[in-house]
Chain A
Amino acid sequence: DQQVKQNSPSLSVQEGRISILNCDYTNSMFDYFLWYKKYPAEGPTFLISISSIKDKNEDGRFTVFLNKSAKHLSLHIVPSQPGDSAVYFCAASKGPNTGTASKLTFGTGTRLQVTL
């Protein structure tokens, strides 16, 4: 049962344009969401997160939007740069003070290619 889904395995965007990566989840207990970027032969690098009490969080060129009613989040990268080419993973967890381990449940990733 895939609780976090990234339905687009790949995305190609021109340099300078907006990249939009999407993620859907099914478990309504998730209340903390993260995006990680992964280059080959490296571990995932944390990009940005959002708590379920917010619907938007911004950090420089990266913005994450959360639509709880639709159980959907998206990562916007503006403007896209060639160095953004990587695999992007969406992850979710049950937030603080739930009494359980804060394990992350990951999607299968979207490979972003930013072309010149």
Chain B
Amino acid sequence: ETGVTQSPTHLIKTRGQQVTLRCSSQSGHNTVSWYQQALGQGPQFIFQYYREEENGRGNFPPRFSGLQFPNYSSELNVNALELDDSALYLCASSPGTGGETQYFGPGTRLLVL
């Protein structure tokens, strides 16, 4: 059974650029959630996708957007990057909505200069 994978592992961008991060969910999981973890903090919920529809959003601006594909893989897009967007971006998958355990990928570390 393949776990959650994310790409790329590291990324450096400059302020104002756009970035796309990718996630493949664990086999059999139809729900993907994205989290941002700043240094010294716990992960913060960005949004969740269930069967290709956004199913809840945290306190992040619209320049954070996402997609989920029919195979349940997902993308996180961030436009107009700001310095504060520098963080570890984590993707987590779960069997369905509603409080089940979420399984995390290794994350993508984004540095915005």
Chain A interfacial positions (CB closer than 8 Å to B): 4, 31-32, 34, 36, 41-46, 49, 89, 91, 93-98, 100-109
B8 within 8 A of A: no
Question: For residue A104, which residues in chain B have a CB less than 8 angstroms away from its CB?
Answer: 33, 35, 43, 45, 92, 102
Determine chain A's interface SS by DSSP, over half rule. loop
CB distance from B41 to the nearest CB of A (A): 6
**Known: A96-B100, A98-B98, A102-B99. Is A108-B56 also a contact (CB below 8 A)?**
no
B107-A93 in contact (CB<8A): no
Query: CA–CA, A107 to B43, complex, Å?
Result: 8
Asked whether, in the complex, the Cβ of A31 is within 8 Å of the Cβ of B99, the reply is yes
- Where the two chains meet, the residues of B that have a C-beta atom closer than 8 Å to any C-beta of A are 4, 6, 31, 33, 35, 40-45, 47-48, 50, 55-58, 90, 92, 94, 97-107
Give B102's nearest chain A residue, CB to CB: A104
- Asked whether, in the complex, the Cβ of B90 is within 8 Å of the Cβ of A43, the reply is yes
Which chain A residues border B94 with CB–CB below 8 Å? 102
Chain A residues with Cβ under 8 A from B4's Cβ?
43
Cβ distance A40 to chain B, nearest Cβ, rounded Å: 11
Q: Is the CB of B99 within 8 A of A96?
A: yes
A43 to B92, CA, bound (A): 9
Distance in Å: Cβ of A53 to nearest Cβ of chain B: 12
Given contacts A101-B55, A106-B44, contact A95 B98 (CB under 8 A): yes
By the criterion CB–CB under 8 Å, are B90 and A49 in contact? Answer: no
**Which residues on the A side are within 8 Å of B42 (C-beta)?**
4, 89, 91, 106-109
Contacts of B48 in A (CB 8 A): 101-103
